[in-house]
Structure 1
Amino acid sequence: MRVMVFVKATADSEAGVMPSTELLIEMGKFNEELIKAGVMLAGDGLKPTRQAKRVAFDGASRTVIDGPFAETRELVAGYWMWEVKDMDEAVEWVKRCPNPMPGPSEIEIRPLYEMSDFAEIMTPEAEALHGGNAAAMGRADG
């Protein structure tokens, strides 16, 4: 199962406060463990939302919204994409993670949809469109 692991933003991360050298080293070692275990597929830190944009959709209308965005606790400061056997394994990995922020912080784990989740509504046309993408990514479930 694939999961997206979100490091939630804090006032410090939104202010652009850089992590300490010690934290960079700790996180680097943790990432090495994830890679050696075959868990980590991708991951990165995100710049503060003052450098971001959102595009709001309403029917055919598109509105561009410049950052920064309010509600810091709802924002994401970084992410990993992991391949784990189940949610319990993902939780165990997160519990081993160094605290990603200087103070209190949260990490959210969300499972990704797989093509098999759409089996009941998949038409031959949709399968042709999406099946090729899954195969190109080396996924056996698409």
Structure 2
Amino acid sequence: MKYMLIMRATDEAYAAMGDIDFDQMLATVGGFNEELIRAGVLVAAEGLGDAADGVVVDYSSEPPVVTDGPYGETKELFNGFYILNVASKEEAVEWARRSPISGPGFKTEIRRVASIDEFPQDNEWIKKERAWRESTGQL
């Protein structure tokens, strides 16, 4: 089963990270990533750019409204993610507990990623997606 670990941090936690040597942070996170790779559970891991540089598409009107910058409160934003292929939610939780990105103001949300096999296989759009995934080596 695949699980997404969604990394969140408060403004205060971000500020505290500013005091950490960037090379040291990369080494710490890189070591954790290496553990995930050695265990054979890492599918993907990415950090996200500053939310202030993003845009939001709001579909509550027609046409949708596009605005610059983050939406809502910063506690609603996430900063990066891991996708792990593990046997259970409990295993995903154990990996999240080992994350070096931790401390006051940091949280990790864990959500299961649905598999294409969970959708009706006779649906034309599922068939097309399955064919695309097969052609790109994702199945």
C-alpha distance in structure 1 between counterparts of 2:132 and 2:109, whole Å: 27
Gaps of 5+ in 2: none
Secondary structure in 1 matching 2:106: coil
C-alpha distance in structure 1 between counterparts of 2:50 and 2:126, whole Å: 37
Structure 1 residue 39 and structure 2 residue 33: aligned? no
Gaps of 5+ in 1: none
Counterpart position of 2:105: 104
Per the normalisation by structure 2, the TM-score is 0.82
User: For 1:61, which of 52, 60, 63 is the aligned residue?
Assistant: 63
Q: Any idea what the Cα deviations from partners look like across 1:71-116, whole Å, max 9, x if unmatched? A: 2121101111111111111011111111x25632100111111112
Q: Is the 8 A contact 1:13 1:48 kept in 2?
A: no
C-alpha distance in structure 2 between counterparts of 1:80 and 1:19, whole Å: 24
Identify the structure with bigger relative contact order (alpha carbons < 8 Å, sequence gap 6+): 2
1:90 and 1:77, CA in 2 relative to 1: closer, same or farther beyond 3 A? same
C-alpha distance in structure 2 between counterparts of 1:50 and 1:139, whole Å: 32
Alignment root-mean-square deviation, CA: 2.4
Aligned partner letter, 1:89: E
Counterpart position of 2:124: 125
C-alpha distance in structure 2 between counterparts of 1:74 and 1:136, whole Å: 36
Per the normalisation by structure 1, the TM-score is 0.80
Secondary structure in 1 matching 2:81: strand
C-alpha distance in structure 2 between counterparts of 1:19 and 1:7, whole Å: 19
Correspondence 1:83-102 to 2 at 5 A? 83-98=85-100, 100=101
Counterpart position of 1:136: 135
- Count of equivalent residues: 136
Structure 1 residue 24 and structure 2 residue 26: aligned? yes
Per-residue deviation, 1:14: 6.6
